[in-house]
Chain A
Amino acid sequence: MNLTDEEKQIFCEVLAENDILRESGAWQGEDERASPVATGASDAARKRSFRLAYKGAYNFRVNGKSVGRNSTKNIDVKPKTDRSGLDITIKPGTKNEQVHIPVAISATGIKEAVYNDFYIGDNAEVTIIAGCGIYNCGPTDSVHDGIHRFYVGKNAKIKYIEKHYGFGPGRGGKILNPVTEVHLQENSEASLELEQIKGVDSTIRKTTADLDKNTKLIVKERLFTHGRQTAESIYEVALNGKDSTTDIASRSIAQDLSKQSFKATIIGNNKCRGHSECDAILMDEAEVHAIPALDAKTKDAELIHEAAIGKIASDQIKKLMTLGLTKKQAESKIINGFLH
């Protein structure tokens, strides 16, 4: 089959977008034809197939513009009028619904900041999936800054899944700077699963939260850097309400010459419990800096931090080798398990 250069480019982009969707967890289908982007770069076709791939509310953003959007009876997805981004409003009492807001950048040189605000009604229980991937085959950096703010109503529960991924042969950087801001009202809960799989050249990840009475914030961060990548992960959680709790667990692997830093600050302003943990595996010549901070403003605040940085334990490798794995397979199993 002879493709023109333009067709080849489209073909590459479609493959890249499929890869982004799959790797970022935003699409888990097996059949390429059912993928939201399988039918090519046509926006109309994308819209149609996206509707087939997802049931529920979504917005699919490709190369700086929305190529598919859907609201449901309970979840309203509206573009912002003053800047790039969305206002997503979830009705009180909404249960077992999902919102997908994947972002794919498959062209070089795109730089964007996107502001998505989520208003979660009282007693709602929803899952929000925000995969984001950059495929860069050109010489210029592509940058996506996603600023997500969650206003979680009383007694509501949210699960937020964010997976970041970068790939492509270009010299241009794949840069993702997510900002996550969580505001929890009385008796609400938020569970954040934040994952940077691979290929992101530079990231500054900032997560802040303020917790009201009897609220809970669980954060599970997984980070993998390689080459000369840099990753900075910053958390600042204010436990303002009585009996508010947080558990921030970060696991990361730094390979090659990559550099990571983890800064977690928990502020106890009331009777509360907070725990932060940074576990990092160092490989090759990589560097990891962990700076946990606890700020107890009252004697009733129970705050704990733990940090452990080191190479893969040799006894772990030996154990798996005695079970038949090669050294390389053992390392890979340990890394995959650690980041799971």
Chain B
Amino acid sequence: MLELKDISCSVKGGSRGKILDHISLRIKKGSFTVITGPNGSGKSTLADIIMGIKTPTTGKIFLESRDITNQTITERAEDIAYSFQQPVKFKGITVYDLLNIASGELIAPEEASKHLKKVGLNPEDYLTREINDKLSGGELKRIEIASVLARPAKLFIFDEPEAGIDLWSFDNLIKIFKKLKKEQKTIIIISHQEKILKLADEIIILEKGKIKSKGTPSEILPQIKGAKP
């Protein structure tokens, strides 16, 4: 499904040098992969590179054997749906507008409501709300995830989906991921949460921009010290 070949990323003039250092990996179609690792290990950069938000210094990216390294974000969005770690706010764009954009066509409010219900938001309260700072961090995060679930994508990437949401919403999120897994969607999640790690077919640990280890939850979880319950 997805193949990264020798991906590196450096920041010009940065003191850290390489953010990603010769990463190569394969993500199978219909698989559930969780990428974890300490802060600053390059996880979000890797997700950004797959989506086209950041450009790698070296390396190639293949999606279904097609070289997408030089594709724009828009071109990649045909196949890849991406949930930002920090939800983006918009003055003047409503939740319904965003779900319409995400769906790629004008959808009925009833259709948009379904996506909101998936993330536990009452459509009557949110559909016409502007996506601005009057919404809490948790509400924004759930709207962000709803917009990704509205995408007709082949590969779903979630960057720390648990960040900023309450326990009830987190349990709801786990249900969403279980459902996506059941539907054989290809999923990559950046996460530190053990409940999410346990859902994975494969866990990849990044450290200092390199793959430290990878394997099944039963192989990897014992190695991870301090994984959050």
Q: Does A323 contact B (CB under 8 A)?
A: yes
Query: B147 — which chain A residues lie within 8 A by C-beta?
Result: 323
Q: Does B93 contact A (CB under 8 A)?
A: yes
B77–A321 touching, CB < 8 Å: yes
Query: B101 — which chain A residues lie within 8 A by C-beta?
Result: 320, 323-325, 333
Residue in chain B with minimal CB distance to A319:
B88
Q: A319 CA to B86 CA in the complex, in Å?
A: 10
Which one of B74, B86, B93, B98 lies within 8 Å of A315 (CB-CB)?
B86
Query: B86 — which chain A residues lie within 8 A by C-beta?
Result: 315
Residue in chain B with minimal CB distance to A340:
B92
Q: Of residues 52 to 105 in B, which have CB atoms within 8 Å of A's CB atoms?
A: 53, 72-74, 77-78, 80-82, 84, 86, 88, 90-93, 97-98, 101-102, 104
Residue in chain B with minimal CB distance to A281:
B91
Q: Does B115 contact A (CB under 8 A)?
A: no
In the complex with contacts A333-B93, A334-B93, A323-B88 CB distance below 8 A: no
Report how many residues on chain A are interfacial, defined by Cβ distance under 8 Å: 22
In the complex with contacts A322-B51, A322-B81, A333-B101, A327-B74 CB distance below 8 A: yes
Most central of B73, B98, B151 by chain A CB within 10 Å:
B73
A321–B72 touching, CB < 8 Å: yes
B92–A322 touching, CB < 8 Å: no
Q: Of residues 26 to 65 in B, which have CB atoms within 8 Å of A's CB atoms?
A: 51, 53
A326–B74 touching, CB < 8 Å: yes
Q: Of residues 142 to 185 in B, which have CB atoms within 8 Å of A's CB atoms?
A: 147, 151
Encoded as 1 (CB less than 8 Å from any B CB) or 0, chain A from 265 to 304 comes to: 0000000000000010000000000000000000000000
Q: A340 CA to B102 CA in the complex, in Å?
A: 20
A318–B90 touching, CB < 8 Å: no
A321–B73 touching, CB < 8 Å: yes
Residue in chain A with minimal CB distance to B92:
A337
Q: A318 CA to B159 CA in the complex, in Å?
A: 15
Query: A318 — which chain B residues lie within 8 A by C-beta?
Result: 53, 73, 88
B93–A322 touching, CB < 8 Å: no
- A64 CB to nearest chain B CB (Å): 36
Q: Does A316 contact B (CB under 8 A)?
A: yes
- A325 CB to nearest chain B CB (Å): 6
Residue in chain B with minimal CB distance to A313:
B88
Q: Does A15 contact B (CB under 8 A)?
A: no
- A222 CB to nearest chain B CB (Å): 9
Residue in chain A with minimal CB distance to B82:
A322
Most central of A320, A325, A333 by chain B CB within 10 Å:
A320
Query: A333 — which chain B residues lie within 8 A by C-beta?
Result: 93, 97, 101
Q: A318 CA to B77 CA in the complex, in Å?
A: 11
Which one of B72, B91, B92, B151 lies within 8 Å of A323 (CB-CB)?
B151
* B interface list, Cβ under 8 A from A: 51, 53, 72-74, 77-78, 80-82, 84, 86, 88, 90-93, 97-98, 101-102, 104, 147, 151
Listed A/B pairs (10) with beta-carbon separation below 8 Å? A251-B91, A316-B88, A318-B73, A321-B77, A322-B51, A322-B73, A322-B82, A324-B102, A333-B93, A337-B92
